């Protein structure tokens, strides 16, 4: 009954939302502007002057062009004339002159423009020519001041079908998933291509350096990237300077954070009152002790760009200092980028070179279990103890053995980790003739991780082992080299035929090496890990040292693509890539990936010409095949590797034992994804309403997955193999509108809807995949299972049937009978599939409002009708024998339960939520009048994650929904246990 | 345009260079292929050792828990906020484990991983021409047959824990369903009968035991198989077991004899004890070489002080203890014939003393019991939880003494005893493997674990003789061992033909092999594991003599069927 009510509420919510969207979009076009004169200035809606605007008198060939400051003068204009202002990418504007002599005009950039360039991989196209599903995001559309670990925070909700999982930690790692789970193996995420170099790391980039982001969603677009495109492709283009005066921009941001929601645990007095465990007499809020009050972060970016027509340089520098809400969680970044572009021989030769270095210094002393420890700790145990040299209660009151003080654990360590990235590339482009161009690009990327950690002599791990401190160094380096060369042919054959073709080859090599060392028992505490040889465990033969170099990985491919346009109306695109990977055995190395897509610009047809309100209507259809090989190298050959254990030879000499490194699989082959996409793009009412719709069906064959291996005959418990196939269906719909365009104010909005459903078609001989076991304490088992035909996102649990008079579980057995939830009945055959972790609808809705110099934006996001299994509820919500602290609900909602936790649907909750991702308000000041040095200043205030409306009963409804087993709020995972925060940023951007 | 051609040349050049590098073979750096691995005799031992390192890991932890914490000998009650762990140790004691319990899963994976690793090493060594690296064909036969023996041993553990196992002869075999218990038994027997004559024989009495398998050890494994045959297959083979035991004692499989002292087989130099047939090698150094899993699980986290200042690998967790002999009032339990581990030792037994290290590899006693103050250093182990700051006083009882007296528990007799009411000081701890003091810290991991020792052969033979009705012979065999446990070899309570019954035999196994990881097998052989009761255990169900097959194993090989008692789709063997 209750379930039905929720559904009703949800569907009512959906309809209300849709109705609201429709009302807003219908309001479009009702507002118009007026005015009159003969000289004036042309600017965009942000007050930026627009040089090069054509100004003409309607019906004549009389006209002029605005100068560098956007100023113009036009003589001989009569009051009855109409002035026409036109500029590429901007809406053409007409003004009746009337009796005005000064006529300042504001031109509006199109939210939707057919002339916009879309990056498609090994080239670019005008938007009108695109035949597949591509979403483009301009840097201007990303809200400033959101902070976060990477620019993923700003991308959240901007691309329909793209799910991003991250936390508010400055050291968060982001998970991406496009259009549902594309592969069951790790590496389901899309391929990131930065300035044409595949395999980039998004963490290296600054939001300010980005020009545009283009997401190739369907396989017909991605197939040109072959093997790595199964999860989609994200193409990131960094900024390039424009010819003209040197422009200097500086922006500074100050941020502050606060906890938005915290778990309600029993206080010390409640803990004692309920008699949960020993009363040590203190009052500690462990959760609070792990967090900072209002941590303060700041960020600075300086960019300089300029140059002449033949030499353009863009350079930027940034520095930031971010403090997380959690103690021992912070990050300092420095980065520099230089993008240069040179043109030689009258534009026949173009050379581009880009380089970026970034380093992120991370303090990550908190562990993934810091919060689960803090939640479980008896609140009567003190944090501090004077009797200990460190001042912390390390091994004294209520602490010892496997119990440790999570605050002391962080405070008595130092952690200096440094991520650094070097991204470089150079490309050469030669226009051989008007039709033929040849391109060559080489890229080199180097990413390093270096960690120096010291654990104090007073830390529990040192005390427990009677050693004075632990020093640790770790180093991990990956390098990637790529070289691409391709030939491009473009020709308008006659009025009807246009061909754009590209063919080339690509080479890619990756290498990775790492080492680490650990020593213990140092003479001097003060030098930290900087005198590793001093620790006595080295001479005792107990220090640790490890090094590894991964097998070399290579990819080699030839590719080609043809785009053909007939009468600017019928578009056809076909691509092919043949790619070989060193990760597969010689017989399975090469794969062929191809795509074909077409589009019909219906608007150009005669029968559509009369429909005035339509500005664009394009039908698209495509099919493509992409591959996936994202797993570590070294799987196809049977290899020996040293065990971690030593054993003596008969002569008493200890040697490392050697055995098979893993289960080798010489039959490994490409995972292949076939994707069919059909959709349309539309624009109407003078391009004021626009959007697109896409419907897709994907099938992934020969899924690569690390599955349970039968041992014997295998030697290891898991094996990577091609197991079966998976199906993935969904749709995406986007509607945007420039609702109000007025000199003084404007309002535009865009709403995005998507839905996805993934199903296992076949998973091979074993017939099932189980999720990993739930964590200790206890062995509750596994709560999700995939079998042939099962839907991803279902939970596999016992069905709750109430409690007996002692508060013990009752469950339904497989025959539907009510039986006690004891070990005799807690067998898999009594579990059933319940719940659904995939949202019925994912909605995001952005608003941009401008009033004169004020601007504001709002980003809302909602996942509707889905379930989350809350481990938080299950592990901390029930009173047990354990004497651990519990959530207040143990004596409230779950007061009747007096039993050990079991896997039941009691812990599955509806998680529908509405979140205010971002709210930003800004004011732009024109300073030219006041000073020669600063032309413009913009001040803004941005709030991130201001509120979440939900009835969800766990901590955070926005759990990881990517991968094969989505929908778990996990207790041993930082991503679900990290505190949810609100973040406020005050920023200023100065243009010099 | 000429310059343009130069650029094209450049591009072509870069292209050619790249294509030159178009070799798509994997290049390996940190690992080697078996084909290039063998260059010296040491390499064969490195490969031979791999299943042995697995075996060394196998002996401890989960496998040990299933053999000991499910029985009347040892247990792990909850102590305040420690050791509840979602009730997993309670489930062991109450026999209510399920297929998802990690102990069960880790044990199954341990058995099957052992079999697979042994098969894999055997195949690689069989394919090698030993003469090319300066070894003989006899060396090869010995190494291969050691692996056959180890294979048999892992299969026997599987049979013991789970019943019939899927039988594989090679890592290239097709997936197999579980064989019947009889077929598994027969396979083990075949492997051992073939291996025994090919194995090397120990050269001299008291020679160094290096961890590898000699002929006597393989024979002992075969004897163990016959000894438990009735429990495994329903067919008693005690006579066959007895015959092998007699031959081993006679020296037909090499020179061995009983150690003169009770501590000899367990002490710092036990790899030279004349009693040891097969040992788990251990030495001080990094964790890769030592046998020390018990340290964290047996002792209190401040126990290092009592031991004379040593520190092990991490803080001990204050866990496993002897099943208590006494009620909260101090009276010894008389309700049960089983259990009472500490009080089963005679008061004059040299082992029934607090453990004290006397220096120079000498020590006395086998338990942590009573006040934890080291008599030599005067240092004490103190509590950190409910007994915060107090000197620990380990008692042979499990009860919430800190809540006494109270309105809930006005008298001692009101105090409950059970799996959920333990405290920091509950229970006596076993120190079978001696711990040195700080000065001798380097000796800490010198003691090996004696996997098979001659005493076991004596006891097996004794039980066989007893079952054959020769109680006098049986008593004599046991007494030969017992006397070393008493001053001047004078045993105040020897076994006699009259007092030797099922429970006395079980008691003798208990006290001699306490904590050595075999109790459950002995109890099943005497049919008391699920039928009898002891301290915190009520009789369970006969299906609990076997553990369930974990779901992960069934999902990896759908031919595998579950054991009865754990669901409906079961193997009818």
Question: pLDDT tens digits for A450-479?
Answer: 999 999 999 998 988 888 999 999 999 999
Any CB–CB contact under 8 A between B293 and chain A?
no
User: Which position has the higher pLDDT, A385 or A961?
Assistant: A385
Residues of chain A found within 8 Å of residue B285, distances taken between Cβ atoms: 540-542, 646, 654
Shared domain for A264 and A131, answered yes or no, is no
DSSP state of A587: G
Shared domain for A269 and A171, answered yes or no, is no
Q: Residues near A355 by Cβ (< 8 Å), separated by ≥ 6?
A: A337, A338, A422, A423, A424, A425
Has residue A549 been placed in a domain?
A: no
Containing B476, the helix (H) or strand (E) segment is helix B471-482
Any CB–CB contact under 8 A between B2 and chain A?
no
Has residue A257 been placed in a domain?
A: yes
> Do A881 and B420 count as a contact with CB atoms less than 8 A apart?
yes
Q: How far apart are CA A582 and CA A702, in angstroms?
A: 18
Domain count, chain A: 4
Say how many CB pairs under 8 Å bridge A and B. 344
Task: Specify the pLDDT at position A5.
Answer: 56
Any CB–CB contact under 8 A between B101 and chain A?
yes
Q: How far apart are CA B93 and CA A471, in angstroms?
A: 41
Q: How far apart are CA A948 and CA A951, in angstroms?
A: 10
Q: Which of A361, A382, A411 is the last residue of a domain?
A: A411
State the smallest CA–CA distance between residue B370 and chain A in angstroms: 20
Q: Is A830's pLDDT higher than 60?
A: yes
State how far the alpha carbon of A304 is from the alpha carbons of A70, A312, B65, in Å: 22, 11, 67
Shared domain for A247 and A237, answered yes or no, is no
Any CB–CB contact under 8 A between A822 and chain B?
yes
Average pLDDT over residues A823-851: 92
pTM (two decimals)? 0.89
Smallest Cβ distance to B567: which of A708, A713, A828?
A828
Task: Specify the pLDDT at position A32.
Answer: 36
Q: Is A224's pLDDT higher than 60?
A: yes
Answer left, alpha or beta for residue B515, where phi above 0 means left and psi between -120 and 50 means alpha: left
Shared domain for A238 and A248, answered yes or no, is no
Question: Could you read off the pLDDT of A75-119 as tens digits, one per residue?
Answer: 878 788 888 888 877 777 888 877 777 888 888 777 677 777 888
Shared domain for A847 and A955, answered yes or no, is yes
State the smallest CA–CA distance between residue A316 and chain B in angstroms: 30
Shared domain for A292 and A399, answered yes or no, is yes
Question: Could you read off the pLDDT of B234-250 as tens digits, one per residue?
Answer: 999 999 999 999 999 99
Q: Which of A85, A107, A129 is the last residue of a domain?
A: A107
Instruction: Flag residues of chain B having pLDDT under 70.
Output: 1-22, 286-288, 312
Residue A491 has a CB neighbour count (10 Å cut-off) of 14
Question: Could you read off the pLDDT of A680-719 as tens digits, one per residue?
Answer: 999 888 888 999 999 999 998 988 888 888 999 999 988 8
State the smallest CA–CA distance between residue B305 and chain A in angstroms: 11
Shared domain for A821 and A865, answered yes or no, is yes
Residues of chain B found within 8 Å of residue A766, distances taken between Cβ atoms: 555-558
Q: Is A512's pLDDT higher than 90?
A: yes
**What is the 3-class SS of A162-221, one letter each residue?**
EEEECCCCCCCCCEEEECCCCCCCCCCCCEEEECCEECCCHHHCCHHHEEEEEEECCHHH
Q: What is the CATH number of the domain that holds A58?
A: 2.60.40.1120
Chain position carrying tokens 């446990």: B485
State the smallest CA–CA distance between residue A425 and chain B in angstroms: 14
> Do A278 and B80 count as a contact with CB atoms less than 8 A apart?
yes
Smallest Cβ distance to A714: which of B23, B37, B116?
B116
Q: Which of A78, A107, A136 is the last residue of a domain?
A: A107
Structure tokens that stand for B145 in this block:
């047959």
Q: How far apart are CA A459 and CA A411, in angstroms?
A: 9
State the smallest CA–CA distance between residue B165 and chain A in angstroms: 11
Has residue A459 been placed in a domain?
A: no
Task: Specify the pLDDT at position A811.
Answer: 96
Residues of chain B found within 8 Å of residue A640, distances taken between Cβ atoms: 31-34, 37, 47
pLDDT category at A362 given cuts 50, 70, 90 is: very high
Q: How far apart are CA A32 and CA A120, in angstroms?
A: 37
Q: How far apart are CA A510 and CA A514, in angstroms?
A: 14
Q: Nearest residue of B to residue A901 by CA position?
A: B86
Has residue A57 been placed in a domain?
A: yes
Task: Specify the pLDDT at position A19.
Answer: 60
Any CB–CB contact under 8 A between B426 and chain A?
no
**Contact at 8 Å (CB) between B59 and B65?**
no
Q: Nearest residue of B to residue A588 by CA position?
A: B24
Question: Could you read off the pLDDT of A603-654 as tens digits, one per residue?
Answer: 888 887 778 888 889 999 999 998 887 788 888 888 898 888 889 988 888 8
Angle at alpha carbon of residue A759, lines to A753 and A763, rounded to 5°: 155
Task: Specify the pLDDT at position B543.
Answer: 94
> Do A349 and B4 count as a contact with CB atoms less than 8 A apart?
yes
Smallest Cβ distance to B566: which of A713, A827, A884?
A827
Q: What is the CATH number of the domain that holds A145?
A: 2.170.130.10
Q: Nearest residue of A to residue B52 by CA position?
A: A647
**Contact at 8 Å (CB) between A585 and B24?**
no
Closest-CA residue to B181 (of B515, B524, B459): B524
Shared domain for A808 and A916, answered yes or no, is yes
Residues of chain B found within 8 Å of residue A714, distances taken between Cβ atoms: 116, 171
User: Which position has the higher pLDDT, A170 or A384?
Assistant: A384
Has residue A584 been placed in a domain?
A: no
pLDDT category at A29 given cuts 50, 70, 90 is: very low
User: Which position has the higher pLDDT, A538 or A880?
Assistant: A538
Smallest Cβ distance to B15: which of A398, A505, A554?
A505
Shared domain for A992 and A955, answered yes or no, is yes
Smallest Cβ distance to B24: which of A438, A580, A767?
A580
User: Which position has the higher pLDDT, A9 or B216?
Assistant: B216
Q: How far apart are CA B203 and CA A211, in angstroms?
A: 79
> Do A707 and B556 count as a contact with CB atoms less than 8 A apart?
yes
Has residue A322 been placed in a domain?
A: yes
Judged by CB atoms within 8 Å, which residues 36-95 of B form the interface with A?
Answer: 37, 42-43, 45-47, 49-53, 56-57, 78, 80-82, 84-88, 91
Residues of chain A found within 8 Å of residue B551, distances taken between Cβ atoms: 770, 781-782, 828
> Do B289 and A646 count as a contact with CB atoms less than 8 A apart?
yes
Residue A725 has a CB neighbour count (10 Å cut-off) of 21
Average pLDDT over residues A214-224: 86
Any CB–CB contact under 8 A between B13 and chain A?
no
Residue B196 in 3-state DSSP? helix
Judged by CB atoms within 8 Å, which residues 491-530 of A form the interface with B?
Answer: 505, 507, 509, 513
Q: Residues near A790 by Cβ (< 8 Å), separated by ≥ 6?
A: A759, A760, A833
Question: Could you read off the pLDDT of A225-242 as tens digits, one per residue?
Answer: 888 888 888 899 999 888
Has residue A63 been placed in a domain?
A: yes
State the smallest CA–CA distance between residue A665 and chain B in angstroms: 12
Residues of chain B found within 8 Å of residue A586, distances taken between Cβ atoms: 25
State the smallest CA–CA distance between residue A430 and chain B in angstroms: 7
Shared domain for A69 and A134, answered yes or no, is no
> Do A549 and B4 count as a contact with CB atoms less than 8 A apart?
no
> Do B385 and A645 count as a contact with CB atoms less than 8 A apart?
no
Task: Specify the pLDDT at position B496.
Answer: 97
Shared domain for A189 and A318, answered yes or no, is no
Has residue A926 been placed in a domain?
A: yes
Structure tokens that stand for B104 in this block:
């069960």
Q: Nearest residue of A to residue B45 by CA position?
A: A649
State the smallest CA–CA distance between residue A469 and chain B in angstroms: 13
The rounded mean pLDDT for chain A is: 87
> Do B170 and A432 count as a contact with CB atoms less than 8 A apart?
no
Q: Residues near A16 by Cβ (< 8 Å), separated by ≥ 6?
A: none
Task: Specify the pLDDT at position A28.
Answer: 46
Shared domain for A220 and A257, answered yes or no, is no
User: Which position has the higher pLDDT, A704 or A33?
Assistant: A704
Judged by CB atoms within 8 Å, which residues 677-716 of A form the interface with B?
Answer: 707-716
**In chain B, what are the domains?**
39-183+538-573 (1.25.40.390), 291-437 (no CATH)
What ipTM describes this predicted complex? Answer: 0.90
> Do A640 and B121 count as a contact with CB atoms less than 8 A apart?
no
Q: How far apart are CA B455 and CA B277, in angstroms?
A: 10
Task: Specify the pLDDT at position A1.
Answer: 43
> Do A640 and B31 count as a contact with CB atoms less than 8 A apart?
yes
> Do A768 and B555 count as a contact with CB atoms less than 8 A apart?
yes
Task: Give the domain range for residue A89.
Answer: 31-107
Residues of chain B found within 8 Å of residue A582, distances taken between Cβ atoms: 24-26
Angle at alpha carbon of residue B382, lines to B377 and B385, rounded to 5°: 170
Residues of chain B found within 8 Å of residue A440, distances taken between Cβ atoms: 10-11, 14-15
Task: Specify the pLDDT at position A629.
Answer: 79
């Amino acid at each position: 009954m209750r379930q039905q009510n929720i559904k009703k509420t949800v569907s009512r919510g959906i309809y209300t939302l849709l109705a609201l969207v429709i009302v807003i979009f219908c309001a479009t076009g009702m507002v118009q502007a007026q005015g009159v004169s003969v000289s004036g200035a042309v600017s965009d809606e942000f007050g930026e002057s627009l040089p090069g605007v054509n100004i003409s008198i309607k019906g004549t060939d009389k006209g002029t062009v605005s100068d560098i400051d956007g100023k113009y003068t036009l003589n001989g204009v009569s009051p009855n004339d109409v002035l026409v202002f036109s500029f590429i990418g901007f809406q053409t504007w007409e003004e009746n002159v009337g009796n005005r002599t000064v006529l300042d005009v504001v031109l509006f950039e199109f939210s939707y423009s057919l002339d916009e360039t879309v990056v498609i991989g090994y080239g670019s196209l005008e938007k009108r020519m695109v035949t597949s599903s591509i979403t483009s995001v301009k840097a201007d559309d990303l809200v400033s001041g959101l902070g976060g670990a990477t620019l993923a925070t700003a991308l959240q909700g901007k691309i329909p079908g793209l799910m991003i999982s991250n936390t508010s930690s400055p050291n968060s790692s982001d998970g991406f998933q496009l259009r549902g789970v594309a592969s069951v193996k790790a590496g389901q995420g899309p391929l990131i291509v930065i300035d044409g170099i595949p395999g980039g790391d998004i963490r290296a980039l600054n939001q300010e350096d980005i020009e545009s982001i283009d997401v190739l969603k369907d396989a017909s677009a991605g197939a040109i990237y072959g093997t790595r495109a199964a999860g989609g492709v994200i193409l990131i283009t960094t900024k390039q300077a424009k010819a003209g005066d040197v422009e200097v921009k500086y922006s500074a941001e100050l941020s502050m954070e606060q906890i938005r929601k915290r778990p309600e645990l029993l206080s010390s007095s409640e803990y004692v009152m309920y008699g949960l465990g020993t009363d040590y007499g203190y009052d500690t809020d462990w959760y609070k002790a792990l967090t900072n009050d209002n941590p303060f972060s700041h960020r600075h970016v300086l960019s300089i760009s300029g140059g002449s027509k033949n030499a353009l340089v863009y350079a930027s520098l940034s520095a930031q200092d971010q403090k997380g809400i959690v103690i021992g969680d912070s990050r300092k970044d420095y980065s520099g980028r230089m993008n240069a572009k040179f043109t030689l021989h009258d534009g026949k030769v173009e050379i581009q070179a880009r380089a970026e270095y970034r380093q992120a210094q991370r303090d990550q002393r908190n562990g993934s279990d810091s919060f689960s420890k803090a939640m479980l700790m008896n609140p009567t145990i003190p944090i501090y103890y004077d009797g200990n040299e460190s001042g912390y209660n390390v091994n004294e009151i209520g602490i010892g053995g496997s119990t440790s003080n999570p605050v002391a654990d962080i405070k008595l360590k130092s952690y200096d980790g440094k991520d650094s990235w070097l991204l470089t590339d150079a490309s050469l482009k030669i226009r051989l003739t008007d039709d033929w161009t040849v391109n060559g690009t080489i890229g080199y990327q180097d990413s390093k991780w270096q960690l120096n950690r010291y654990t104090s002599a007073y830390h529990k791990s040192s005390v427990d082992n009677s050693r004075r401190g632990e020093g640790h160094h770790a180093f991990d380096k990956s390098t990637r080299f790529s070289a691409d060369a391709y030939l491009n042919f473009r020709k308008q054959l006659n009025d009807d035929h246009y061909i754009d073709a590209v063919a080339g080859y690509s080479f890619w090599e990756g290498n990775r090496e790492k080492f680490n060392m650990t020593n213990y028992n140092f003479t001097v505490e003060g030098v930290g890990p900087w005198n590793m040889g001093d620790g006595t465990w080295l001479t005792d033969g107990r220090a640790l040292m490890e090094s590894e170099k991964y097998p070399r990985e290579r990819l080699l491919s030839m590719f080609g693509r043809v785009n053909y346009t007939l009468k600017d109306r019928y578009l056809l695109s076909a691509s092919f890539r043949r790619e070989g990977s060193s990760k597969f055995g010689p017989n399975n190395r090469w794969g062929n990936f191809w795509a074909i897509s077409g589009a019909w610009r219906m608007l150009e047809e005669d029968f559509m010409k009369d429909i005035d309100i339509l500005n664009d209507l394009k039908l698209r259809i495509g099919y493509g095949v992409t591959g996936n090989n994202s797993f570590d190298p070294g799987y196809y050959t049977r290899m020996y590797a040293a065990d971690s254990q030593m054993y003596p030879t008969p002569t008493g000499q200890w040697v490392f034992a050697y055995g098979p490194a893993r289960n080798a699989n010489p039959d490994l082959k490409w995972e292949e994804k076939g994707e069919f996409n059909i959709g349309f793009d539309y624009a109407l009412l003078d391009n004021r309403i626009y959007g697109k719709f896409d419907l897709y069906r994907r099938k992934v064959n020969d899924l690569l997955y690390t599955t349970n291996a039968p041992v014997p005959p295998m030697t290891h418990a898991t094996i990577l193999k091609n197991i079966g196939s998976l199906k993935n269906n969904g749709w995406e719909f986007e509607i945007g509108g420039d609702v109000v365009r007025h000199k003084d104010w404007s309002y535009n909005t865009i709403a995005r809807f998507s839905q996805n459903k993934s199903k296992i078609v076949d998973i091979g001989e074993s017939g099932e995949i189980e999720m990993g076991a739930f964590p200790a304490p206890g062995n509750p088992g596994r709560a999700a299972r995939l079998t042939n035909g099962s839907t991803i996102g279902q939970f596999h649990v016992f069905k709750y049937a109430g409690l007996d008079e002692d508060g013990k579980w009752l469950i339904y057995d497989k025959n539907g009978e009510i039986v006690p939830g004891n070990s005799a009945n807690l067998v898999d055959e009594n579990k059933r599939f319940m719940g659904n972790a995939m949202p019925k609808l994912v909605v995001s809705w952005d608003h941009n409002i401008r009033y004169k110099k004020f601007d504001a934006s709002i980003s809302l996001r909602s996942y509707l009708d889905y379930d989350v299994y809350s481990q938080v509820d299950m592990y901390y919500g029930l009173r047990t024998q354990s004497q651990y602290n519990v959530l207040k609900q143990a004596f409230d909602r779950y007061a009747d339960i007096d039993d050990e936790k079991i896997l039941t649907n009691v812990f599955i909750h509806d998680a529908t939520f509405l979140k205010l991702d971002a709210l930003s308000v800004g004011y732009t000041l024109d300073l030219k009048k006041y000073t020669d040095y600063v032309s413009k200043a913009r001040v803004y205030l941005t709030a991130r994650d201001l509120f979440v409306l939900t009835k969800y009963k766990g901590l955070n409804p926005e759990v990881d929904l990517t991968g094969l087993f989505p929908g778990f709020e996990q207790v041993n995972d930082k991503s679900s246990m990290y505190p949810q925060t609100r973040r406020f940023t005050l920023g200023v951007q100065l243009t010099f | 345009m000429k310059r343009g051609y130069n650029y094209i040349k450049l591009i072509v050049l870069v292209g050619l260079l790249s294509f030159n590098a178009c070799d798509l073979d994997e290049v390996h750096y940190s690992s080697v292929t078996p084909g290039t691995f063998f260059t010296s005799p040491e390499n064969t031992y490195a490969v031979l050792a791999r299943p042995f390192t697995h075996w060394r890991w196998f002996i401890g932890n989960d496998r040990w828990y299933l053999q000991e914490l499910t029985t009347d000998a040892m247990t792990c009650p909850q102590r305040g906020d420690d050791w509840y762990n979602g009730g997993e140790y309670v489930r062991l004691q109450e026999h209510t484990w399920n297929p998802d319990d990690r102990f069960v899963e880790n044990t199954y994976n341990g058995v099957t991983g052992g079999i697979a690793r042994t098969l894999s090493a055997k195949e690689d060594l069989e394919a090698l021409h030993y003469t090319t690296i300066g070894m003989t064909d006899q060396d090869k036969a010995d190494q291969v047959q050691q692996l056959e023996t180890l294979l048999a041993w892992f299969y026997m553990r599987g049979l013991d824990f789970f019943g019939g196992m899927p039988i594989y002869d090679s890592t290239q075999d097709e997936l197999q369903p579980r064989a019947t218990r009889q077929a598994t038994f027969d396979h083990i027997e075949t492997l051992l009968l073939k291996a025994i004559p090919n194995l090397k024989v120990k050269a001299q009495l008291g020679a160094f035991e290096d961890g590898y398998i000699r002929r006597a050890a393989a024979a002992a494994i075969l004897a163990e198989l016959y000894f438990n045959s009735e429990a495994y297959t329903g067919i008693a083979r005690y006579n066959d077991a007895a015959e092998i035991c007699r031959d081993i004692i006679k020296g037909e499989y090499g020179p061995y004899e009983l150690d003169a002292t009770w501590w000899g087989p367990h002490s710092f130099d036990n790899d030279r004890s004349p009693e040891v047939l097969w040992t788990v090698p251990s030495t001080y150094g990094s964790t890769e070489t030592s046998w020390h899993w018990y340290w964290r699980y047996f002792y209190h986290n401040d126990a290092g002080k009592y031991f004379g200042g040593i520190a092990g690998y991490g803080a001990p967790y204050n866990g496993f203890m002897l099943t208590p002999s006494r009620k909260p009032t101090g009276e010894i339990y008389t309700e049960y014939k089983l259990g009472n581990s500490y009080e089963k030792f005679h008061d004059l037994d040299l082992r029934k003393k607090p453990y004290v290290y006397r220096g120079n590899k000498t020590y006395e006693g086998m338990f942590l019991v009573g006040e934890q103050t080291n008599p030599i250093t005067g240092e004490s182990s103190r509590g950190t939880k409910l007994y915060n700051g107090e000197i620990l006083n380990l008692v042979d009882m499990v009860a919430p003494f800190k809540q006494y007296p109270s309105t809930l528990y006005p008298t001692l007799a009101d105090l409950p005893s059970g799996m959920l009411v333990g405290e920091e000081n509950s229970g006596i701890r076993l120190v079978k493997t001696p711990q040195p003091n700080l000065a001798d810290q380097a000796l800490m991991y010198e003691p090996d674990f004696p996997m098979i020792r001659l005493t076991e052969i004596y006891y097996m033979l004794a039980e066989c003789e007893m079952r054959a009705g020769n109680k006098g012979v049986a008593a004599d065999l046991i007494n030969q061992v017992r006397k070393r446990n008493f001053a001047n070899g004078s045993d105040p309570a020897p076994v006699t033909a009259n007092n030797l019954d099922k429970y006395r035999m079980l008691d003798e196994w208990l006290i001699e092999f306490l904590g050595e990881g075999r109790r459950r097998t002995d109890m099943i052989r005497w049919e008391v594991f699920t039928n009898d009761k002891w301290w915190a255990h009520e009789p369970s169900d006969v299906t609990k003599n076997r553990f369930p097959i974990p779901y992960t194993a069934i999902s990896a090989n759908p031919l595998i069927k579950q054991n009865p008692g754990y669901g409906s789709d079961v193997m009818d063997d």
